[in-house]
Structure 1
Amino acid sequence: MTTTPIELKPSSSPLSAAEREAILADPGFGRHFTDHMVTIKWTEGRGWHDAQLTPYAPLSIDPANMTLHYAQEIFEGLKAYRGPDGSVALFRPDANARRFQGSARRMAMPELPVETFIDACDALVQQDIDWVPAHGGESSLYLRPFMIATEVGLGVRPANEYLFIVIASPAGAYFPGGVKPVSIWVSEDRVRAVPGGIGDAKTGGNYAASLLAQAEAAEHGCEQVAYLDAVEHRWVEELGGMNLCFVYENKIVTPELTGSLLAGVTRDSLLKLARDLGYESEEGRISIDDWRRDTENGALREVFACGTAAVITPVGMVKTAGGEWTQGDGQPGAVTLELRKALLAIQTGAAEDRHGWVHTLD
């Protein structure tokens, strides 16, 4: 399938170099946005059309826009890094593009071709390339591709018009003061998703569903919430926005994809990278009782969460309604840090990419 040509209409008044550098000195996450965005329309009977790169600007949405009422919305998240030679590369955009297609299928939305997804990301990064932080740390340019329904009308059915957009935001190091473990509240009565539902789609509704449990985690002094399965309330699934991995003596286990978990790109990368480093890695089932028992008897050495934003986040404390326990010695584990370092080295171009994950801009 041929890709949709992107018409370039760059801004005549982008931020000055001084303003941009001031932002890049302390970008945070998701607080500042680059000068441009890419938009592509889809209309029933016509398909994808009117692909444009334009100045970053607000959207004009009718009050009866169908997304506002029926939540047909999906998104992705990926990063661009600057390499040692000054080149800029995206990490696994093809994997994000394929997952975006899967989310679209689940939400009854049109599937954007993989090539068009990547071209849109490339065009935005190329135009705003000065927003990509310098090589040498963990800072990156975070890309947020998303799609919404744009048809106007009230009626519970798939829309016949959609808008795909890519925006970008510079992101600083997730742990600027060094990697720190997070505390986890295990929600035993609320669930994130159910088998056959939309848990394996990256759609805003899943994140909205996690907010109450996240607030409850904060009430218990925890930074993140972990969910159990919706049927037995026994099997560990994932956090509100990250996958979980469990480190045994020489094996890394992550909860299997049952249809209610998101297939994380970072998760998949780490399973493969762990094998490169000599560890066994597999999908499996871990109950909350397994988690506590294996921690207490020493069989479970480390636990970490993983996702695009933080890459890898070690777990230090776990709390449930029936008690709490410390993971290992409460500090980041050696395997966790080894995997984090190895993955970041590939992403930033400091290590060889043996898997073809790095997509360098022409």
Structure 2
Amino acid sequence: MINLVPLFGPRSATGQTTAFRLFPRRGAERWMLETRFRRPWHLETWPQANRRAKVIYRAARLLGDLGLNLPSRRITLSIGNDSLYAQLRGRFDALGIFLGTPGPNRKVVVFARGREGAWFIKVPIGETSAALAQTEASVLDTLAGDPNLSPLVPRCLWIDEALAIEDVRAAGAIFAPLDPGEVLRVHALLFARSRSDIPLADLVRRWTASEAEATPHGHPGTARAIAAARAAARSFLGSLAPDTAVECYEAHGDFTRWNVLRAADGSARIIDWELFGVRPKFFDPFHYLVSQAILVDRLPAPAILERAERLAEGADSLDIYSRWLYFGLYVAGQVCYYSGIYERQTEFYAQAFWQLETWTELLEMLCARPPGDANRLGPGAPKNFGNAQ
């Protein structure tokens, strides 16, 4: 069990004993729900971003109506009288707990619904997740003052040390794919407000600053996958001139199908801004496509390249070379960031392998398939990185 002191208070605190269901019954612990609740409020923290998730959610709701639950095991915990959870109990009618995704960024998320509406309350359990919460709150406050972007972001407020984010579904937004034109529109809005040029050498230094201090993962297979991905990233980045001017902007950073909802008019409603920061141009649109392709659709690297090419064709500011360049920078940046995260976590999951292996293959294909820009890369190179043979 992860550290729940930030939510429930220290074990020595005076409190009330409460029974919870812990989900799933076997395997990694992911959710908690008080036994007094019939509805699966914990699953409100599980974005219904694909058909499987929607089916499980609807089945769980139906079971709840019948007084039944998904497979779980019962545990008893003490809730401190002065704890955050005790405060939430007095303030909201329904509560469900997600125990977070493993890794140094891990946090607890509590779904809370009551007279004040519905909120997702992010509870930091370490210095890293606390810093991410501060970043997200600052970003949301800033974007709320931008007339172009304020309709796209949720409200937020602090409840003690936890950041509460408005549940945008209450206003009719749903988990559904955005039209490519809307994905590009959101990117254009963010890019226009924060565009800058950064020399490639400076960008690479930022991405690789912590590599020298990295300790190889204790699991040999994991260490090999990380090393292969880093080697592919170095190969791609090393093929570029160090003084290459990289167009950058302040991007969402985790612009995925499960962090971007669609309003009734088709426009985006964007949550989880904690990874907001400077990224190469077109980072968010590429991430919207690639994250779904790897983690949900399990597409092979050639198919991902073709989809990335089609998406980038919709951006007037990207010529053939720029599509190749910025897609490669997107993948290389992901390798640099997540390799460091994966090295620091002991609980390693299959999705991380999927990403490392696919990123490695994508970068190897990009190095082998530069676009046919005679002025930059010489004659005879393939015309299109997405469907070249």
In the superposition, the TM-score normalised over structure 2's length comes to: 0.27
The structure in which a higher percent of residues are strand is 1
**Larger Rg over CA atoms:** 2
